[in-house]
Amino acid sequence: MSFLYANQVIERCASTNDLAKALGDSGYPHGTWISARVQEGGRGRLGRKWESREGNLFLSMICRIEDRSLWTWVPLATAVGAARAVEKLAEVRIKWPNDLWVHGAKLGGVLCEAVGNSNGTFIVAGIGLNCADSPKGIDQPATSLTESAGGRSVSADEVRQSVISGVLESWRALHEAGPEWVAREYESMAALEPGTEISWDQSSGTVLGLGALGELRVRLPSGEVRSLYAEDVKIRVRRA
Ligand code: BT5
């Protein structure tokens, strides 16, 4: 890559996470961000696609929290920060691990990727937030801030700075106050409350809550307690 753009909104790219990785590789500090108006190859977790419609927010930030024991909490902390930033515009809940949800429809998602090289190790946190528009006809219901705000049009430009500040604040609290802060915030906004019946892969169970690493603790029908980790599963809600 011949040019690096830090803390800027660029016109188009394949994935803002790739650009943030390049920035991190070059030594850019904690909190550096990059955003694009058009994202042509947006990625979700597990190789899934992120539908990136024009007018929505595509943002990636570099996280250099040094204490590795906190890293499993970064995706949840990112979701908490982004959710707090838009809670005045939508009744937003967090669906574990880090989907932003409004009344059962997906408003946004977070993709965290760890990168390690000679310039140190860091996390790229990518945030996709539907602002102007949401994709229809995909495999789950989707919504946007414009739809949630009762038709008043909400642009990516309107929310970008609040999302950046919200995420930075949440990372600072994770670093200074520890995972308990994230867990408390998360639980106050959780879509999957204790008692919610969920299914994943070929399994099902009842949500118990978060474990010490930010994993989701679930009771199986057999009574056994299982831990689910963010990188492994796609969860469906059966009933609350
Ligand atoms: C995520 O993955 O939700 C993480 C999305 C992260 C996107 C950001 S945009 C900036 C940065 N650059 C990137 O390349 N990525 C990040 P996951 O939990 O795997 O959810 C993906 C699933 O969400 C898909 O399989 C669809 O079901 C659904 N989906 C895809 N696009 C959507 C959209 N725009 N709105 C709502 N749901 C969507």
Nearest atom in ligand 1 to the alpha carbon of residue 106 is 36
Per the omega criterion (within 30 degrees of 0), is the bond before 141 cis?
Answer: no
Which tokens in the block code for residue 70? 């906190």
Which ligand 1 atom is nearest residue 14's CA? 14
Residue 168 vs residues 33, 150, 194, 228: alpha-carbon distances, Å = 11, 28, 28, 26
DSSP, collapsed to helix, strand or coil, labels residue 26 as: coil
What is the CB neighbour count within 10 angstroms for residue 11? 7
> Is residue 240 pLDDT above 70, yes or no?
no
The fraction of the chain above a pLDDT of 90, given in percent, is 86
- Residue 222 to residues 55, 201, 233: CA-CA distances in angstroms? 47, 17, 20
Kindly indicate the confidence band of residue 220, based on its pLDDT and cuts at 50, 70 and 90. very high
Angle between helices 179-188 and 156-177 (to 10 degrees): 130
Q: What is the pLDDT of residue 29?
A: 96
pTM: 0.95
Which tens digits make up the pLDDT trace of 145-174?
999 988 799 999 999 999 999 999 999 999
Residues with CB under 6 A from ligand 1: 15-17, 42-46, 48, 50-51, 58-60, 99, 106, 109-111, 126-128, 130, 134-135, 138-140, 142
Q: What is the pLDDT of residues 190-214, one digit of tens each?
A: 999 999 999 998 899 999 999 999 9
Number of H helices, E strands in the chain: 5, 12
